[in-house]
């Protein structure tokens, strides 16, 4: 469930669940070809007003091409793009109520911070008094009032990023497009800036569409995520739904860390799916409401944090389990990641929270261990 703040309250924000809600942006059967190469392949997508929407995928999947078509820098080979009820497929960038923030920030090095922010407003011939007021508003929004007269080279990377954001927002676009905007920042600053972006987007109520290959970033900022592969969208949903209920092995593997066990369906009854796998000594049972065919191939995806590790077989009914040997251990401070080698050589991961300071590990290298997870801890995938 996604939420937006409303004063001191939190209210549900999920217009995509309302059959009567009209999308702010609609891409209808959009294809983009560069010669024989299909960058975006017959893609249909709705984005709603006030969404923070992420296009997520590996390099070459078509996400930046899609963003450039939204901006007007590329025209679709076929299909239509509708923004605010108007077909903008052939409208040039400068006539669209859209602004774009580039990965490089593209600040003018010879201009001060305030002049960079004011540049687009001057191009639009906004009255001087209004320009000054808007620039001050934007400086306050990104908390750079004290840096108004500085040149870009006198700023940190995070400050330059905020100047670029202020300049992009100064014209009050109906939609802001962000192309890997945080890629140049170090990890701590990137995490801090993600929350700043969310707060600014929520405060202004502008639709944000961000392109990223960083799964954690997309999971943090997004109301919804579109996972892309080879120019197509393979799943669109909220971060929680994509993480907990991926529709395919590709999505499960791309979002976060996951164990994927090859199985055969042996039956389904009362909401439980029974599966056989060479990796387990007993049948695997997953509670899930999907249609499966007995005897068909399937895969069970289990996130490492849902796998409990111990030196004794699980004594709880309704738990699935595997037996193996600790092959490696990764200490991440808050978590320890156990790599467990099963009898056939398959490596399975279990993530355990370090709730106390570790002086001596209760489980260590070469220990024989059991990995277990509940029936609702895994997801059955059929493709």
Q: At 360, is the pLDDT very low, low, confident or very high (cuts 50, 70, 90)?
A: low
Q: Percent of the chain, pLDDT > 90?
A: 78
Q: At 1, is the pLDDT very low, low, confident or very high (cuts 50, 70, 90)?
A: very low
pLDDT at position 11: 57
Cβ-contact 206, 169 below 8 angstroms: yes
pLDDT at position 105: 80
The CA–CA distances, whole Å, from 171 to 45, 69, 142, 184, 278 equal 26, 20, 15, 25, 60
71 and 209 share one domain: yes
Cβ-contact 360, 340 below 8 angstroms: no
Nearest Cα neighbor of 226 from 361, 90, 70, 78 is: 70
The CA–CA distances, whole Å, from 266 to 280, 296, 317 equal 14, 8, 20
239 and 280 share one domain: no
271 and 223 share one domain: no
Q: What is the pLDDT of residues 2-46, one digit of tens each?
A: 666 544 444 578 999 999 999 999 999 999 999 999 999 999 999
82 and 206 share one domain: yes
Give the CATH number of the domain where residue 373 resides: 2.40.50.140
When the pLDDT of each residue in the chain is averaged and rounded to a whole number, the result is 92
Q: Per the structure, how many domains does the chain have?
A: 2
Q: What angle do CA 374, 227, 303 make, to 5 degrees?
A: 20
Q: What is the pTM of this model?
A: 0.91
207 and 294 share one domain: no
Helix 157-170 and helix 113-123, axial crossing angle in degrees, nearest 10 = 20
37 domain-assigned: yes
Q: What is the pLDDT of residues 260-288, one digit of tens each?
A: 999 999 999 999 999 999 999 899 999 99
77 and 201 share one domain: yes
Give the CATH number of the domain where residue 67 resides: 3.40.50.300
pLDDT at position 7: 46
Helix (H) / strand (E) element for 185: namely: none
180 and 299 share one domain: no
Q: At 302, is the pLDDT very low, low, confident or very high (cuts 50, 70, 90)?
A: very high
Of 225, 249, 273, which marks where a domain is finished? 249
312 and 206 share one domain: no
318 and 213 share one domain: no
Of 215, 249, 283, which marks where a domain is finished? 249
Cα distance from N-terminal residue to C-terminal residue, the chain: 26
Of 228, 249, 270, which marks where a domain is finished? 249
pLDDT at position 2: 63
- Give the range of the structural domain holding residue 205, as residue numbers without chain letter: 3-97+173-249
Q: At 181, is the pLDDT very low, low, confident or very high (cuts 50, 70, 90)?
A: confident
DSSP annotation string for 16-73: GG-TTPPPSEEEEEEEEEETTEEEEEEEEEEE-TT-EEEEE--TTSSHHHHHHHHHTS
270 and 353 share one domain: yes
Q: Tokens for 352?
A: 């355990």
The CA–CA distances, whole Å, from 72 to 75, 86, 233, 290, 335 equal 6, 14, 20, 41, 45
333 against 218, higher pLDDT: 218
Q: What is the pLDDT of residues 51-110, one digit of tens each?
A: 999 999 999 999 999 999 999 999 999 999 999 999 999 999 989 999 998 877 889 999
10 domain-assigned: yes
pLDDT at position 359: 61
Nearest Cα neighbor of 324 from 307, 344, 308 is: 344
223 and 263 share one domain: no
114 domain-assigned: no
pLDDT at position 8: 43
Q: At 362, is the pLDDT very low, low, confident or very high (cuts 50, 70, 90)?
A: confident
115 domain-assigned: no
CA distance 119 to 323: 64
pLDDT at position 6: 47
* Mean pLDDT in residue range 112-134: 94
Q: Tokens for 177?
A: 């497009």
């Amino acid at each position: 469930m996604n939420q937006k703040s409303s004063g001191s309250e939190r209210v549900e924000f999920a217009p995509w669940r309302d059959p009567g809600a009209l999308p702010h942006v609609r891409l209808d059967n959009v294809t983009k070809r560069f010669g024989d190469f299909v960058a975006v392949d017959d893609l249909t997508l709705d984005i709603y007003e006030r969404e923070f929407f992420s296009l997520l995928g590996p390099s070459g999947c078509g996400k930046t091409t899609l963003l450039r078509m939204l901006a007007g820098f590329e025209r679709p080979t076929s299909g239509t793009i509708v923004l605010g009820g108007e077909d903008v497929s052939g409208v040039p960038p400068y006539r669209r109520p859209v602004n774009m923030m580039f990965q490089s920030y593209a600040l003018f090095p010879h201009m001060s911070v305030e002049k960079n922010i004011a540049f687009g407003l001057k191009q639009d011939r906004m009255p001087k008094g209004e320009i000054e007021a808007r620039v001050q508003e934007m400086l306050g929004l990104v908390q750079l009032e004290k840096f108004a007269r500085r040149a870009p080279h006198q700023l940190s990377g995070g400050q330059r990023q905020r100047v670029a954001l202020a300049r992009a927002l100064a014209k009050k676009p109906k939609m802001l497009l962000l192309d890997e905007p945080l890629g140049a920042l170090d990890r701590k600053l990137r995490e801090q800036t993600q929350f700043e972006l969310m707060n600014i987007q929520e405060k202004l109520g502008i639709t944000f569409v961000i392109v990223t290959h960083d799964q954690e970033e997309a999971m943090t900022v997004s109301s919804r995520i579109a996972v892309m592969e080879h120019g197509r969208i393979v799943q669109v949903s909220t971060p929680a739904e994509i993480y907990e209920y991926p529709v395919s092995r590709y999505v499960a593997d791309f979002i976060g860390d996951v164990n994927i066990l090859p199985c055969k369906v042996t039956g389904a009854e009362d909401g439980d799916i029974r599966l056989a796998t060479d990796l387990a000594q007993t049948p695997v049972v997953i509670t899930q409401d999907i249609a499966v065919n007995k005897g068909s191939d399937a895969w069970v995806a289990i996130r490492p944090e849902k796998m409990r590790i111990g030196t004794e077989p699980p004594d709880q009914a309704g738990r699935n389990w595997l037996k193996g040997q600790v092959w490696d251990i990764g200490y991440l401070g808050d978590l320890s990641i156990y790599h467990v080698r099963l009898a056939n050589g398959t490596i399975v991961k279990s993530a355990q929270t370090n709730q106390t300071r570790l002086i001596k590990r209760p489980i260590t290298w070469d220990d024989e261990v059991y990995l277990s997870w509940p029936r609702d801890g895994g997801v059955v995938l059929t493709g």
